[in-house]
Amino acid sequence: MADESGQERSQQATPRRKQQAREKGQVPHSRELNTMFMLLSAGAAGMMFGEQTISQLADLLRHNFSLSREMIFNPRVLPGAVADALITMLWILTPFLLVMIAAAVAGQLAIGGVTFSTQALGFKLDRLDPVKGMQRVFSAQGFVELFKALIKFTLVGSVGVLVLYSHLGEYFSLADEPVNTGIQHTGNLLLWGFIAIAAALILIAAVDVPFQLWSYNRQLKMTTQEQRDEAKDTEGNPEIRSRVKKMQRELAQRRMMAEVPKADVIVTNPEHYSVALRYDQKKMGAPIVVAKGTDLIAMQIRTIAREHQVPILESPLLARALHHTTDLNREIPAGLYLAVAKVLAYVFQLKRQPYWQRKTGLRLDDLPIPDDMQFDS
């Protein structure tokens, strides 16, 4: 199967392709399944409501065929009586109609779901094209429908013949029964025969439903180029996406840099890594990383820290451990609690001295860093 460009439709339909098909009213649909549901439901409704419905309709007919003199000679009375009779008849048939509506909805829900599309209601001139109409008739789908019709005719006819043959004696004996009994017996025979014939459609629906699903998925298959075009339409031009991501990175970096002045200490490598830590005993369970980066970003973090008199402390092992194990705005791992506690204690003690701002080259060695959190680079 190939499209007009000659490319093979070998790719499965994407969710967007399926959604667009639903918007156009294209959903999996099995007429055989709907027919089976409708006929079996009609038979079940006949068994449940048939006797009561026939009795009520007979009473309605008996009442309305008993015409009074006033109804015959007064033309104003007859329309009202006819309207009342129609409303009463509709009320009597309501249970049967509700069962049929439910069956119609269930038949559609069972395979493709209920959908409403204004596009499907639109007028399309190509539907009136006789050439395309003949192409549809003599297409593979048309021959499949013809084959199904022949199978259905053969199966239903065979079941009908078997039902007639199996009750042949009862049919011949109906003439010897009293009128009321014979009518009731005839109704029962017809009802069970109807149900048996409708049940034969289960076999056809069991074959048609998988075929319709396969045919629907086959029609929606896409070429590789169609998938690429869809991805391009959905996600946008690659250059635009790249520009948007760059802008997002820049905005995130600006937000991160705005947090550097609020940090309590900057732990450095001393040049390749910079990690800004903040800790509030009243609000935080553990120190958090408010900024981090390498190379140029690390240098920018240190520059902002110097401008706002944030202590910068050299500890290569701790800086690499914090950078590799902790995300932005996240608490440090438990394995680094002791090391960071020593750093913060040193910094807080240093800040109590009035001349700490003049101190440079702050450094702490031999901090307790777990083996699994030590990184060479």
- In the chain, where do the E strands start and end? 265-268, 273-278, 288-294, 312-314, 362-363
> Where are the domain boundaries for CATH 3.40.1690.10 in the chain?
257-373
Which two structure tokens, joined as six digits, stand for 193?
């025969």
Q: What is the pLDDT of residues 22-77, one digit of tens each?
A: 767 677 777 888 888 888 888 888 788 877 877 787 788 777 777 677 666 777 77
pLDDT over threshold 70, residue 127: no
Has residue 111 got a pLDDT over 70?
Answer: yes
Give the Cα separation of 102 and 48 in Å (integer): 15
Of 121-125, 170-174, 313-317, the one with minimum mean pLDDT is 121-125
Cα separation, 191 vs 181, whole angstroms: 15
pLDDT of residue 69: 72
**pLDDT tier at 121 (50, 70, 90 boundaries)?**
low
- For residues 154 and 197, the answer to whether their CB atoms sit within 8 Å is no
Band the pLDDT of 357: cuts 50, 70, 90.
Answer: low
Q: What is the pLDDT of residues 216-250, one digit of tens each?
A: 778 777 777 777 777 666 665 666 677 777 887 77
Could you tell me if 320 and 377 are in contact, meaning their C-beta atoms sit under 8 angstroms apart?
Answer: yes
Report the percent of the chain where pLDDT is more than 90.
Answer: 0
- Confirm if 368 and 334 have CB atoms less than 8 A apart: no
**Into which CATH architecture does domain 257-373 fall?**
3-Layer(aba) Sandwich (3.40)
Q: Which residues of 57-76 are buried (b: 16+ CB within 10 A; e: fewer)?
A: eeebeeeeeeeeeeeeeeee
Lookup: tokens for 207: 């074959």
Averaged confidence pLDDT in the chain:
78
Burial of 239 (0-12, 13-18, 19+ CB in 10 A): exposed
Calculated CA dihedral for residues 356, 361, 366, 370, nearest 10 degrees: 90
Q: Is 259 helix (H, G, I), strand (E, B) or coil?
A: helix
pTM beyond 0.85? no
Closest of 165, 163, 149 to residue 191, by C-alpha: 163
Residue-wise pLDDT for 67-109, tens only, equals 677 666 777 777 777 788 888 888 888 888 888 888 888 877 7
CA distances (Å), origin 174, targets 50, 166, 167, 181, 186: 20, 15, 11, 9, 7
Q: Quick: pLDDT tens for 319-354.
A: 888 888 888 888 888 888 898 888 888 888 887 776
Q: Give dist(CA 8, CA 223) in Å, integer.
A: 6
**Residue 309 neighbours by CB under 8 Å, 6+ apart:** 357
Give residue 199's pLDDT band: very low, low, confident or very high (50, 70, 90): confident
Q: Residue 269's pLDDT is what? A: 85
d(CA 277, CA 269) in angstroms, rounded, equals: 14
Dihedral angle computed from the Cα positions of residues 334, 338, 344 and 346, in that order, rounded to the nearest 10 degrees: -170
pLDDT at 186 over 80: no
From 305, 318, 321, select the one nearest 265 (Cα to Cα).
305
pLDDT of residue 3: 54
Cα–Cα distance between 346 and 349 in angstroms, integer? 5
Cα–Cα distance measured from residue 72 to residue 76, given in angstroms and rounded to the nearest whole number: 10
Q: Which residues pair with 288 in a beta bridge?
A: 278, 331
Rounded distance between C-alpha atoms, residue 137 and residue 149, angstroms? 14
